[in-house]
Amino acid sequence: MLLTQRHRQLLQQEQLLIEKRIESFQKTQAALEDEQQHKLAQRAALSLISAIKEEEEAAAARNAERKQLIQTLRHEALQAQQAPLTAAEQQLLQQLPQQLQQQQQLLQQLLLRVEEAAAALSEAEETIEVTLRRGVDRLEREAREEEGEDLGFRVYERVDAEAAALLKTRQQQEDAAAEIDTAIRALESQLSAAREHQTAAERKYQTAAANILQINLLLQQKQTEAEAAM
């Protein structure tokens, strides 16, 4: 009778231990998945931040060049009544289509980098899935290889400790990801403002160029009329 009761108690303890192991494995697997996902999200966010910074710096440089060019064109427009367009001025006007094309190419490069980051994220997710399966299989194999109640509980404690460490790491990564998201939103806002300034500068540039061309045509017309009158 005592042996049977003891046997039942051992079976109950073993069943409880198995349930705890399963629960620990599930927690460990979930923590591993969350950790890898946050790592991938962090890498993608850093790549996006780098791309946005590069685009913002390039846009700022282009805006500075356009402002200088607009000032030059305005000055030359005031002087156009006294003299026709010089070769340098005509060259500046001819460079406008090329500058617009360069802007489009830069935007396409930024979109391509975002697509590449998304593809890398998808590939990494597949790799993570394989790694997680191997990790869980390893933990299960180690648990089966352990013998005795004390060893079994030590395996459970070790697995639970690993799960707790992963959960702590996940929380740290969530905090870091939140900071990165805030930085991304700020950079996106700055990039949007830079693009608005760029659009406004392009319009002013085109207006100034059109004014110079119009003045040049009027000067040529007056010169032709003067030559005809002579």
Q: Does residue 211 sit within a domain?
A: yes
Q: Does residue 177 sit within a domain?
A: yes
Task: Give every CB contact of residue 27 below 8 A, 6+ residues apart in sequence.
Answer: 160, 163, 167
Q: Does residue 181 sit within a domain?
A: yes
pTM of the shown model: 0.35
Task: Report the SS3 class of residue 146.
Answer: coil
Q: Which residue did the predictor score with more confidence, 151 or 41?
A: 41
Of residues 113, 123, 111, the one with CA closest to residue 36: 123
Number of independent structural domains in the chain: 1
User: Per-residue pLDDT for 87 more than 60?
Assistant: yes
- Residue 226: pLDDT band by 50, 70, 90 thresholds? low
| Whole-number pLDDT of residue 66 | 66
Q: Does residue 204 sit within a domain?
A: yes
pLDDT in tens, 28-81: 777 677 777 767 767 766 777 777 777 777 777 776 776 676 666 556 555 544
Of residues 218, 220, 212, the one with CA closest to residue 79: 212
- Residue 149: pLDDT band by 50, 70, 90 thresholds? very low
Task: Give every CB contact of residue 88 below 8 A, 6+ residues apart in sequence.
Answer: none
Q: What is the amino acid identity at position 156?
A: Y
DSSP for residue 86: P
Question: What is the distance of C-alpha 135 from the center of its chain?
Answer: 30
Question: What is the distance of C-alpha 107 from the center of its chain?
Answer: 14
Q: Does residue 55 sit within a domain?
A: no
User: Per-residue pLDDT for 125 more than 60?
Assistant: no
| Whole-number pLDDT of residue 220 | 73
Q: What is the amino acid identity at position 38?
A: H
Q: Does residue 184 sit within a domain?
A: yes
Q: Does residue 193 sit within a domain?
A: yes
Q: Are the CB atoms for 157 and 22 separated by under 8 Å?
A: no
Q: Which residue did the predictor score with more confidence, 112 or 19?
A: 19
pLDDT in tens, 185-216: 665 666 666 667 667 666 766 777 777 777 77
Q: Does residue 125 sit within a domain?
A: no
User: Which residue segment(s) compose the domain that 174 sits in?
Assistant: 163-216
